[in-house]
Structure 1
Amino acid sequence: MSKSNEAASMDVELSPEQKQAEAHRILLEDLGRSLKFLQRGIAAAETHYIYRALRAVPSLRKRLLPEVLAETISACTSETDAPNVRDCLKGMLVLLKQDQRESQSTGACEPELCLFLGLLSLLSLLDSGDRASGAKLAESLIRVTSGSQRRTLDPIASRVFFYYSRIFEMDGRLHDVRPALLNALQAATLAGMKETKAMLLTLLLRNYMHYKHYDQAERLTAKSSFPSDAPNNLLARYLYYLGHIEAIQLNYSQAQLHLLEATRKAPSNAETAGFQQTVHKIYVIVELLMGNIPERSLFRQPVLRKPLQPYLELTQAVRVGDLNKFQDVVAKYEEKFLKDDVLILIQRLRHNVIKAGIRSISIAYSRISLRDICLKLHLDSEEDAEYIVAKAIRDGVVDATIDHEKGFVQSAEIHNVYSTNDPQYAFDKRIAFCLSLYNDSVKSMRYPGSDHRKELAYAMEAIKRERELAHELENDDYDGDSDEDAMDEDL
């Protein structure tokens, strides 16, 4: 009999109670294994053990049982814990609808263990739909993070802050968390908690953008620095928010660079498809605002084909310079553009549509009257057409002259593009990108040295010398007392 048949026969033989007991046992073992990784990381002051425990969170979340989680929390509760840690652990039991049982552990619960168990409890409450209890628990966990600034607390604290903000956002009370996030950002910056600082910066930018406070978001990015060694997922989110803010502030070239880098930093898999779609929506509009037409292959990607269909129609209207078609597309997908928070950027494209129309007209006609331009672009009057063409000439969109007396536009002869500086600019742009990619690759290959191990060995030697010195002092005091007693006896 094969192994698959044996497994199938064992599944058939097990009763529902036995299956539940087996799942209970496996979940307890997995929880215990994660807690051991945390304890090992705390003892060695190494964060890679903490990350190994956090990698098991998605798997544990799918199989979490409140009673198993409450049993683990109760075993970790001790009267020797710090008050905020002890209160948080007991509060978890209450929120999980379990009685506060007596402690079964002999040692105190570290803040890392408390936050890890609190993170699992928070996910359990979120999955069950109990947001009110989740908000209370999140506030308790935030108080635990403020009471400790250890390096091993950094990875767990960043995730706690994420779900803390997420719960209040789902309840429509995102503005309530802003003071706590600002205070936590200041504390994380002073304590050198880089991942927590990166997470708090992205959460604050999301908070400001949710309420359209773009000026405050721009000031935050100007007065703060994003950690250079932050995880790629946080860096991609930060670059997306930065690109969106730059686009609103009319800095389209910087917005294009940030959005393009965000698409490259984010992993390309099914789990990040939503992020890729959101970034490319802003990216397409920024490209159109800069006067560029995105490549058609971008809209043919399987992940982006359906979500970017309205933006493809928008691009086609801008490319041909058809103002009526552009207005029809905006009216057709207005609700979707509002939901994507890009309508304010799309409304700026009207001038680009007119410029594209003028450019195509100047290429097709060496001489055309202002009245014909007014009819082709569906403008209100010849005066408007004259003003728009004059502005296009001033901006360098077309190379032409206007005869105001006779009312026509005379296009200049088409010059060879290789006689201009355009190829040089394009070549310089590619070289700058390659150099930036090379520098990022070199930085990612650098590993931290072993200086911290030397400092640790020096500290251990110093402690050993202090103990030896204290022991010698105690012996000297004892010998001195004996000599004095002998002298008294002689006298």
Structure 2
Amino acid sequence: MTQDVEMKEQPAPSNSVPSSSPSTLHHLKEIASLIETGAYDREARRILRAIRLTMALRRKLKASVLSSFLSFALTPGSEAFTRLSSYLPKEDENEMEVDTATSTAQPPAKHSLPELEIYCYLLVLIFLIDQKKYDEAKACSSASIARLKNLNRRTLDVLAARLYLYYSLCYELTGTLSEIRSNLLALHRIATLRHDELGQETLLNLLLRNYLHYNLYDQAEKLRSKAPRFEAHSNQQVSHGLLLSFSLNCKFHS
């Protein structure tokens, strides 16, 4: 009997967003908290989990949500905030996603962590690619890589590897993949000096893909023959590397 009464007392669904259903902005703030914890505790696995959670939200990202998140995660008026905001289209105020449940509990960050700043670059870049705004995505990816060069923190390695992938993708989508070959080589040298194995592995695969895209098989084979082997692999990069190696073997020995 008690159960029947409780079921009858449940409120009827309305057209407004129910408070029991966390908004996309709310989820992004939780992810930001996860990244901050990972950065302070130096636990890359937390940041990796943050990326996976972000991919699950990918289809829900809107310009209004990202604008609100940038205001939360970055210092308003900062170089990163101004740059990233410029890539987002302006939307009607009525479409802005309001997150009153967490706005008072989680004030905007005063001094953003580098990990959180790079995460914001990644978010905006994903959004631009999905919106097929490839020229803007290309500019955003180049800006993110320039920023990464000045940051040497192992807790950034997971985020950096993902940015390298999208950086290469943006130039491939705009038909300008050859423009970044020398930069990929430079990034690979930087990753080697910093003992960033995930970055080295990711950039090696991107370089091989770059060479194969332009049928530069001799250069690709030379690069692969000198490449080190890593013990701590990313499953995604292992699969990608094996596919590229197979393709190179077929082309080089045909």
Q: Same fold (TM over 0.5)?
A: yes
Contact 2:201/2:237, CA 8 A, preserved across alignment: yes
Are 2:252 and 1:246 aligned?
no
Displacement after TM superposition at 1:247 (Å):
2.8
Question: Which of residues 175, 190, 215 in structure 2 aligns to 1:212?
Answer: 215
Are 2:29 and 1:32 aligned?
yes
Question: Which of residues 156, 161, 166 in structure 1 aligns to 2:164?
Answer: 161
1:55 is matched with 52
Contact 1:77/1:90, CA 8 A, preserved across alignment: no
Please provide the CA RMSD for this pair. Answer: 2.5
- Aligned mates of 2:46, 2:188 — CA distance in 1: 25
2:235 is matched with 232
- Aligned mates of 2:166, 2:250 — CA distance in 1: 28
> Matched residue pairs, number?
234
1:90 is matched with 82
Q: How does 1:254-333 map to 2 (within 5 A)?
A: none
TM-score (norm 2): 0.84
Displacement after TM superposition at 1:171 (Å):
1.2
Unaligned runs of 5+ in 2: 92-106
Are 2:220 and 1:223 aligned?
no
74 and 9 in structure 1: CA distance in 2 versus 1, 3 angstrom threshold: closer
Contact 1:95/1:133, CA 8 A, preserved across alignment: yes
**Offset from partner CA, 1:419-466 (integer Å, 9 cap, x none):** xxxxxxxxxxxxxxxxxxxxxxxxxxxxxxxxxxxxxxxxxxxxxxxx
Displacement after TM superposition at 1:232 (Å):
1.7
Displacement after TM superposition at 1:38 (Å):
0.6
User: Which deviates more from structure 2 when the two are superposed, residues 146-155 or residues 64-73?
Assistant: 64-73
1:69 is matched with 66
1:202 is matched with 205
Contact 1:88/1:140, CA 8 A, preserved across alignment: no
- Aligned mates of 1:200, 1:226 — CA distance in 2: 13
Higher relative contact order (CA 8 A, sep 6+): 2
Contact 2:25/2:68, CA 8 A, preserved across alignment: no
Q: Could you tell me which amino acid in structure 2 is paired with residue 245 of structure 1?
A: L
9 and 212 in structure 1: CA distance in 2 versus 1, 3 angstrom threshold: farther
105 and 57 in structure 1: CA distance in 2 versus 1, 3 angstrom threshold: closer
Q: Could you tell me which amino acid in structure 1 is paired with residue 208 of structure 2?
A: L
Are 2:115 and 1:118 aligned?
no
Contact 2:72/2:109, CA 8 A, preserved across alignment: no
Q: Could you tell me which amino acid in structure 1 is paired with residue 84 of structure 2?
A: M
Q: Could you tell me which amino acid in structure 1 is paired with residue 89 of structure 2?
A: K
Higher-Rg member (1/2): 1
Displacement after TM superposition at 1:98 (Å):
4.8
SS at match of 2:112: coil
- Aligned mates of 1:31, 1:134 — CA distance in 2: 20
Unaligned runs of 5+ in 1: 251-344, 346-491
Contact 2:74/2:80, CA 8 A, preserved across alignment: no
Q: How does 1:447-486 map to 2 (within 5 A)?
A: none
Identical positions, percent: 26
Are 2:166 and 1:174 aligned?
no
- Aligned mates of 1:177, 1:226 — CA distance in 2: 24
Q: Could you tell me which amino acid in structure 2 is paired with residue 27 of structure 1?
A: T
Q: Where do 4+ consecutive residues of structure 1 move more than 6 Å?
A: none
